[in-house]
Amino acid sequence: VAPSSAADGPSRAPFTAEIAELIEPFAPPVVSFHFGLPAPALVQRVKGWGAKVLSSATTVEEARQLEARGVDVIIAQGLEAGGHRGMFLTEDLDTQLGTLALVPQIVAAVRVPVVAAGGIADAAGAAAARALGAVAVQVGTAYLLCPEATTRPLHRAALARAAERPTAVTNVFSGRPARGLVNRAIAELGPMSPLAPPFPLAADGVAPLRAAAERQGSDAFTSLWCGQNPSGCKAVPAAEITRAIAAGLV
Ligand SMILES: Cc1cc2nc3c(=O)[nH]c(=O)nc-3n(C[C@H](O)[C@H](O)[C@H](O)COP(=O)(O)O)c2cc1C
What's the pLDDT score for residue 11?
63
Ligand 1 midpoint to CA 84 (Å): 5
Whether residue 6 has pLDDT greater than 70? no
For residue 191, CA distances in Å to 22, 34, 186 come to: 37, 22, 5
Of 20, 46, 21, the closest CA to residue 31 belongs to: 46
CB-ligand 1 contact for 141 (6 Å cutoff):
yes
Whether residue 4 has pLDDT greater than 80? no
Segment 21-25 mean pLDDT? 94
Question: CB-based contacts of 36: which residues, under 8 Å, 6+ apart?
Answer: 55, 62, 86, 88, 89
Helix, strand, or coil here: 81?
Answer: coil
What's the pLDDT score for residue 89?
97
- What is the C-alpha to C-alpha distance for residues 126 and 124, in angstroms, rounded to an integer? 5
Task: Judge if pTM exceeds 0.75.
Answer: yes
Q: Give the number of the atom of ligand 1 that is nearest the alpha carbon of residue 117.
A: 22
CB-ligand 1 contact for 139 (6 Å cutoff):
yes
Of 223, 238, 226, 233, the closest CA to residue 6 belongs to: 223
CB-ligand 1 contact for 175 (6 Å cutoff):
no
Q: Which residue's CA is minimally distant from atom 2 of ligand 1?
A: 83
